[in-house]
């Protein structure tokens, strides 16, 4: 690819994992397309990056026409190329499925799953025309084994995992890699929804149960490794690695967890497997 500055397009770039991956790739000299529904957050992310190394794109990932426009605007400055499309935008809320609002269920599926599909379809031609390109999708440790109290969120992340694996097969001959990040709990706004109605934050609830909440700074190197490595799925932090190990070798232990999110994961993580 010569001296061409590599472009990465990041959804959910106004905060959290998207902001951190934007920052990390920009530090490596990449040009970053920051996409989100939050203009102020995107401006804050852009201010963290070197001057002239980013562009901002208002994007609701559930809107296919906005996807087309955002990628057309982005690639107008990248010579029609996208080296990495990072489908990261996502939301999470918990609770028993019978108690969830229909609107919450529909919104999680629309953003976490349909939004990823929309991005993949909108970006396909640009990726196909970029040598050794990559789609990077944010899945989750909740996509390794189902999590009580987060069933809809977990289901969307399993679906993203399946998309990633299928496209790794489908696109191999086209020179497009398909990869996923599978983080455990990361210190971002999303964990605030883990325990609605509690007087503790999600982070406090998890940490009081002995469950690791990792700093967001770990996600940049993990994304870099995922894009440049050979693994289809990259587990991020100790908890995700332990859960992947347990799901493979001790699935009965996971199935026998009848308690909620924190209590069930506490037993698994503290077991050292």
* Catalytic residue numbers, as ranges: 153
CA–CA–CA angle 166, 169, 174 (5° rounding): 120
Instruction: Give me the helices (H) in 171-201, please.
Output: none
Return the structure tokens found at 220. 């940049």
Q: Are 137 and 180 in contact (CB under 8 A)?
A: yes
- Rounded Cα distance between 263 and 273, Å, is 16
- Rounded Cα distance between 135 and 120, Å, is 8
Q: Which residue has the tokens 């469950």?
A: 211
Q: Are 34 and 57 in contact (CB under 8 A)?
A: yes
CA 67 and chain centroid, separation? 17
Q: Which residue has the tokens 């397309």?
A: 33
């Amino acid at each position: 690819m010569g001296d061409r500055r590599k472009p990465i397009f990041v959804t959910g770039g106004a905060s959290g994992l998207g902001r951190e991956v934007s920052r990390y790739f920009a530090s490596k000299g990449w040009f970053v397309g920051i996409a989100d529904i939050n203009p102020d957050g995107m401006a804050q992310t852009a201010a963290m990056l070197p001057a002239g190394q980013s562009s901002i794109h208002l994007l609701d990932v559930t809107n296919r026409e906005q996807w087309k426009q955002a990628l057309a605007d982005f690639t107008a400055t990248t010579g029609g190329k996208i080296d990495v499309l990072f489908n990261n935008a996502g939301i999470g809320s918990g609770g028993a499925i019978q108690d969830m609002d229909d609107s919450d269920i529909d919104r999680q599926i629309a953003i976490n799953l349909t939004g990823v599909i929309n991005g993949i379809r909108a970006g396909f031609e640009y990726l196909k025309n970029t040598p050794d390109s990559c789609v990077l999708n944010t899945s989750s440790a909740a996509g390794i084994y189902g999590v009580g109290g987060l069933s809809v969120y977990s289901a969307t992340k399993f679906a993203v995992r399946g998309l990633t694996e299928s496209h790794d097969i489908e696109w191999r001959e086209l020179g497009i890699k398909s990869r996923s990040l599978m983080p455990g709990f990361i210190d971002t706004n999303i964990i605030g929804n883990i325990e609605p109605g509690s007087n503790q934050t999600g982070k406090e609830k998890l940490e009081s149960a002995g469950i690791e909440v990792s700093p967001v700074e770990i996600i940049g190197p993990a994304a870099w490794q995922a894009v440049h490595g050979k693994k289809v799925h990259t587990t991020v932090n100790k908890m995700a690695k332990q859960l992947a190990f347990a799901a493979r070798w001790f699935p009965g232990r996971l199935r026998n967890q009848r308690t909620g999110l924190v209590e069930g994961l506490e037993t698994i993580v503290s077991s050292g497997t």
